[in-house]
Every structure is written in C-alpha cells, then in structure tokens.
Structure 1
Amino acid sequence: MDERSRPYRSVLYIPGSKARALEKARTLPVDAIIFDLEDAVAPDAKAEARETLRAELDAGGYGQTARLVRVNALDTEWGADDIAAMRGADFHGLLLPKVDAPADLDAAAGHLGDDLPLWAMMETPRGILNAAAIAAHPRLAGFVAGTNDLAKELGCAMRADRLPMVYALETMLMAARAEGKVAVDGVFNHFRDEDGLRAECEQGRDLGFDGKTLIHPAQVATANAVFAPAAEDIELARRQIEAFEAAEARGEGVAVVDGQIVENLHVETARRTLAKAEAIAALAH
C-alpha cells in the first residue's frame, strides 16, 4: 500500500523491550505501530530490546498494520547497532529521532543500505526550520511530530490550545504536503483525559495531520474515530462527485450541492475522502 494512501489515524508507541506489549499490539485496531528502541528503553536494556523486537518482527502476526521502528540517534552508542539489528526485518520504515537536516537521513540510509523508507521525528528547532529540505529527501516517507521534545527545546508552555506550538506544527505540515509526504501529530500525554484527547485530535485533524501518535491503547478508538471521514462527509463527497460529473456532461464547469458551488478542486477533495474511507475499510483488524 502506498504511504500516502495508507491510513495513519492511530500510531501507537510500543516499547521494543516489552514482549507482552509487543504481543498485545498484534490484536489492537491501530493503523500503525512505532516500535521504540529510543526513549522507551533504558540504556542498560538497549541490546536486549533489539533482540526482543527483532524476534517479534520475525514472528510476524501484525497483519496490515504499518510497522515503524524508532532507533536511537546515530550520534549515540546505540544507533548504528539498532539499524544493523533491524536490517532485513519485516517492517515498513525506520524512524529517526531529532532529525535536524537531510544529512541525518543520508547517514541513516548509509547504514541501512537498502530502499526501506525513512521517517523523521520533527522535534528540534533546527529540524523545523529545515522542514522543507528534510521533506524533499528522496528516502523520506513522513514526519512524526515530537511535541514533548520540541516544547522542551522551545521552552514553551504546554497549553491545551497548543498555541505556542502552532507555527512548528504548520511548518512541518506545509513541508510534508509540498512533497506529498505523511504527517502525524504528536502525543497527548494525559491518556485518561478522553475529552482532552478528542479535542487535540480534532485540532490536529483540522490543521491537516493524517493522524496522531499515541502512548496508550485506550487512546486508539478516539484517534481512529476523529481522523476517519464521518458518514456525512462520505455521503456529501459522493453527491459532490455525482453532481459535478452530471454538470460536466452538460458542458458546464461547476455544479451546486446544498447551495454551494462545487468545482474541480472540491471534487479532488471529495475523491480523497472516499479513497481514505475505502482504505480504512480495507484494513483487517
């Protein structure tokens, strides 16, 4: 499945060191999993986590769920070994932390040695300022917003409206969309606050993100619901396409649906809505 057509509504972090969590992840209705060898794994458990994760990936059983592996940065003592341990495993992309520039992707590609897609954590001021160049890298498949680290680097408040973060979020989105790449929003830390999670998912969706990274399985249902086209959106999309095609058959360039003009650009959006709904329906969870 093409990365831009694959749903990324829910993207759940799973520690690579926890065999029980890795097993449970096979049963979760998530669109994607980030198997984490970085922040979620203590320094003295890094080597064992690599072995555990590699064994679970080799065992399979994750179905159509997109599988990303977040390795440690190459300037750490673990990064190169992480990539070497994952080479040839059954996953869809290598997620690199704290990407500052395209050179970071070049370095990872050199260690990986094949055509596996790369993903970039966007979590530093320099990375945000270089977002356009990073997005244009030929190996890059998508961005993951690292909002916790970015807030720490900026020294900004973690407000419910995320106003201090909006410039960074929109910058990475603009870069991703310019290059046709996936963009996934950052985590919501208060996993027991369902109302807060829903509000932040809705904000991310309205900004244009493809989905949200999650820290707990309890967050999956909300993210899946918010980032999926609503039934009324699907029905409207179908009516817009039908009306526009009928108008074209009459030699007209626009149609009217529910009192609003429908032009070709609206039809393109409608077709994307239907394609996303179909891709979600095709996932076998």
Structure 2
Amino acid sequence: MPASSHFRSVHLRRSVLSVPAINRRALEKVHELDCDAVIFDLEDSVAPEKKAEARDNLKRFFSQTPLAGREAIIRINALSSDFGAEDMETVLALRPQAVLLPKVDSPDDILAVSDLLDENDAPESLRIWAMVETPRAILNIAAIAETGRTEGPRLDCFVVGLNDLRKETGVLPLPGRTYLVPWLMQVVLAARAYGLDVIDSVCNDFRDLDAYDTECGQGRAMGFDGKMLIHPAQIDAANRHFGPAEAAVREAKAIITAFADPAAAGLGVVNLDGRMVERLHLEEAERLMQKVRLIAERKAAR
C-alpha cells in the first residue's frame, strides 16, 4: 500500500548544492558552507576526458574529513554510458548517503541500480536519488515513484532538472515558469503519494538573487522540500524559504502543547485560540519541530 506523506522520514534538504567533482577548490570549500546536502557531480559538469580525474578527486575528498551533519550524494553518469560502471564502482567504494541517477526515464532505471547495489551488499542507508529531467520521466513519474515502495527503500528523493526538460520540450525559460508548473506539480504529487522527498530545479543566473529569491518562494509554495543550487550565494535564500519560519515554529509548539493537554486525550480535534486543529496538523507540527532540531544539531556539529 502506498505510504502517505506523514510516514516520510524527516530530512533537512533545504539547500542541495551541486559541486563539480573536477573542481578541487570547490570541493575544499564545501566544509565551510551552510548547505544541507552536497551533490558531487561526475556527470554534466565534467568533460569526458576529465571523468577519471574527477573520480580520483572524490576518492581523495572522501578519505579526508567527512561532511559534518550533511548528506553527501554522488551524481553518476548513466549506467549505459562509457563512464557509468566506473562511477558506480566509486559509489560502492565511497558509500555516500545517496547516488543520484541522471535522466531517469522509467522504473527500470531505478531497479537496475537498486539491483546493482543489492548485489554488491551496499547498506540500505545508501539511497537512490533520481533526476527528473526528461519528457518520459514526467509521463512515467508515478510508476517511477512507486519503485520506492514496491522494490525496497532505496529510492528516496526526486531532483527536478528543468534545463534538460526545457531543451527537450522547447518550453522557453520565462519568469514564473508558467508552462512548467503543471509538470512540476505532477512530480510533487507523485513524490508525496509514495513518501519521497522532492527538490526543485536549479536557478541558472546566480547573480540575480532577487529572481532566485522569488523562485525559492514559488518552490516552497508548490510543496518542494528544498532547491538544488549551483553557487554558494544561493544557500541563504534556500535555507530561509524552505526552512521553518518563526511564526510556523510558534504555531507548531502551540499545537503540540494543545494535544499534550490531558483534556485532549482521545480527541481528534482541539480548539486552539478559536481555530479547530486536527491531528493531521499535529503530525505536521511534529515534523516541523524535527527539522528545527536537525538544524540545531547541525549548527552544533559545525
């Protein structure tokens, strides 16, 4: 039976920074950055003749100080490419929190990697993230999401890639993403139906922080868990928009307190300052407070 959203594990994925694995200087700087997760990219940002060097960079990086309180994700090249097999060998050796698969088109793309991880005795904690960036992915998104429940817990998160989707569909990069919103909402809906997190696409112009701020607000309103970033200057806005707002934290605490009152025992609905609050709101409040705790723990670990 598909899991509803309140069974999802709570992760901190407000800001997911993509770092080219070929860029050693960028790799060295990630320890200083306040992002929630780092995608170490072996795919689009690395030229074919540099792939082996990029893998060596990651081996060196992972042998040193690990990321404190943050997820490490390695984006590989497609298994069908000339580089996919060696990329997966690197993933199996380094054991990041997740492997990010590019240009996922169908459930078979997920199942092939899941089987490969199982065959090599990779721990269940090594999850699969999927790039949703092709027309076929949008058409098959519910079936892709369902693999996270029918074939074990490996599939954990979707990351939308609008650059490739625009290229393949001819949709123009207009402000507000008007003609892309229906597809984005399909991805969010499928993720929620099967208990997955979902990360909004990158904003290419990292110098226009006002436009980026607006896009973060839109992504949060659409239900995304966070945003994929291409520059450290984008971290603060993502953390602010996708993180718990002060007013939301106050309300969450009030809801938890109201249901903790012995008078509320057995009740499905309570009166909170003249507003009827249901237990589904309690579940939302508890999830938000878990995120607050995760933020505090990571700050303490840095």
Q: Give the TM interval when normalised to the shorter protein.
A: over 0.9
Cross-structure match for 2:4 = none
Calculate percent identity across the aligned residue pairs: 45
Deviation per CA, 1:167-190: give whole Å up to 9, x if none: 211111111111111111100111
> How far apart are the structure 2 equivalents of 1:250 and 1:85?
52
Q: Return the structure number with greater relative CO, CA threshold 8 A, min gap 6.
A: 2
2:259–2:265: 8 Å Cα contact kept in structure 1? no
Q: CA RMSD in A?
A: 1.8
Cross-structure match for 2:183 = 168
TM score, norm. by length of structure 1: 0.94
Q: Secondary structure at the match of 1:30?
A: coil
Q: Does 1:77 align with 2:76?
A: no
**Counterpart of 1:269 in structure 2: which amino acid?**
E
TM-aligned CA distance change 1:250 to 1:15, over 3 Å: closer
Within the candidate set 269, 272, 284, 2:287 is matched to 272
Cross-structure match for 2:220 = 205
> How far apart are the structure 2 equivalents of 1:59 and 1:3?
32
> How far apart are the structure 1 equivalents of 2:66 and 2:264?
48
How far 1:26 moved relative to its partner? 1.4
Q: How many residues align?
A: 284
**Counterpart of 1:123 in structure 2: which amino acid?**
E
**Counterpart of 1:281 in structure 2: which amino acid?**
A
How far 1:259 moved relative to its partner? 3.3
TM-aligned CA distance change 1:152 to 1:232, over 3 Å: same
Cross-structure match for 1:31 = 36
TM score, norm. by length of structure 2: 0.89
> How far apart are the structure 2 equivalents of 1:171 and 1:27?
35
Within the candidate set 94, 104, 107, 2:112 is matched to 107
Deviation per CA, 1:39-91: give whole Å up to 9, x if none: 11011101111111121112233112100000011121111111112322041
> How far apart are the structure 2 equivalents of 1:279 and 1:90?
22
How far 1:205 moved relative to its partner? 0.9
How far 1:277 moved relative to its partner? 1.3
1:54–1:86: 8 Å Cα contact kept in structure 2? no
Q: Secondary structure at the match of 1:173?
A: helix
Cross-structure match for 1:131 = 141
> How far apart are the structure 1 equivalents of 2:157 and 2:8?
8
Cross-structure match for 2:45 = 40
Cross-structure match for 1:249 = 264
> How far apart are the structure 2 equivalents of 1:49 and 1:243?
53
Q: Give the unaligned 5+ runs of structure 1.
A: none
1:60–1:90: 8 Å Cα contact kept in structure 2? no
Cross-structure match for 1:218 = 233
> How far apart are the structure 2 equivalents of 1:156 and 1:258?
47
Tell me which stretches of 4 or more aligned residues in structure 1 moved more than 4 Å.
Answer: 250-253
How far 1:247 moved relative to its partner? 7.7
**Counterpart of 2:102 in structure 1: which amino acid?**
P
How far 1:3 moved relative to its partner? 7.9
Q: Give the unaligned 5+ runs of structure 2.
A: 1-6
Within the candidate set 12, 24, 48, 1:7 is matched to 12
